[in-house]
Chains A and B, each alone.
Chain A
């Protein structure tokens, strides 16, 4: 049987978050494979960094009254 198994982390997200991730990927590559609109396969050791970076990115887009 011919096949391949790739170790990694499956990210499940919405379309908007995926676009942000794709932009982030251009600065520093971490995506192994773009699976579909809501799923990405990324390198295992990058997950924490991605989460932190995404958090700051999303915070830029929230506004509060005070």
Chain B
């Protein structure tokens, strides 16, 4: 059963290239599920069109661009002629995606872009219109005077370094809170809105008290604990994490009686804004003013005071539609997207970091022994991995985290991680799963072989058989199939009687 663990260790995939090119952006499926009218409204704003366009894949973008400047529809065969043999399949999926988000309705016969999208996107490229969809810059009365006098603009609001550190601090507060939940340390709590979002998205769950029943006091403080989903979340890149949270935010929009289109428009507007510039909230709708507050908590927007009459997007916001997160690395040290972990065959782990968040993540599955100004030393032990497994973390997730954050020195090794350690982590996981269980019914004591065979065949047909033994004439089927099987047997018994 656990022989499979010794099968060749999976080759570490390059985390940079794997999947990123092929998988559509997480927002696209969400847009696909929206109604046609909502999408059409969304496409009336140039900034939204530009942002959505950037989230599309390369082939989709090229199709849009090829059709954008044509006045009339063209036959789909014309464009098909451009597709190479290898391109057929991706081209088909691209057309499908475009038609689902209503940018290119009915690509089967004639190709014509959604008229709203076409007009707005053209406007985005050439400039013009009066929708203010790229944000109205804030101009103070003093500056207005200064401009008239011909003086340069001295006051530029916060500089980008300040915004970066603010965004980072906000974002790490959230992650740090997640990772150290359930431990003794009490990090700074994010705002109530963030906590609610974390709980709703299933990244964190209310902490069950160790005795099995929740006491009144624990319910009052609403202790949250990171879930298995939450750990997976921590392993993602900041950019994916951000979109995951925003997607959850979008899903909550309707409950909060907010207009989804306005919410999306605001997000897209932020993504096209200029870093380090201040914008005026005067043109925002009521919904968007509420969002301003929420996004400030997530670190997407900076405001001097909550009552301030201007706001600045941070790098988290302005890079929403880019594929690489440009947020400078955390903790001041320049560890960056480069890895920092060295793992040896003797299970010892050296992490060159001083970032409390990274250390806290490691602490989830590593037994940390000593700590120096820029280095943490620990080892992967059975107990530390079991602790992680008990929290719902999977062995594959631990291994993929180690691969993603491996130190450049480690990258010379092939395979990247020591095989012994990889296998041992998998074996520890299998050891925990020595017992598998399934609810259901055992069907036994069949009087005739024919009866047994007929019922078994039926159960197999609906795919609920978990175990069978024809010698003993019995089989076990999962609980979901029971009512069907019982109905089947009753019908047959009735037929026999008649």
Contact = CB atoms under 8 A, between A and B. Distances in A.
Find out whether A and B make contact in their complex, taking CB atoms under 8 A apart as touching: yes
Interface of A: 1-14, 17, 32-33, 35-36, 39, 41, 44, 47, 50-51, 54, 58, 62, 64
Nearest to B432: A55
A17 B439 contact: no
B455 A3 contact: yes
Nearest to B436: A12
B438 A9 contact: yes
B437 A8 contact: no
A61 to B, nearest CB: 11
B interface, how many residues as a size bin? 35 or more
Contacts of A13: 434-436
Interface of B: 1, 381-383, 431, 434-448, 451-452, 455, 466-467, 469, 472, 474, 476, 482, 485-486, 489, 492-493, 496
Contact of B476 (A14, A17, A41, A58): A41
Contact of A2 (B445, B466, B476, B486): B445
A12 B441 contact: no
Contact of A5 (B434, B466, B482, B496): B482
A1 B476 contact: no
B434 A17 contact: yes
B437 A36 contact: no
A8 B493 CA distance: 24
A42 to B, nearest CB: 8
A58 B452 CA distance: 38
A47 B439 CA distance: 10
B467 A35 contact: yes
B493 A1 contact: yes
A51 B390 CA distance: 13
Nearest to B381: A64
B96 to A, nearest CB: 41
A7 B441 contact: yes
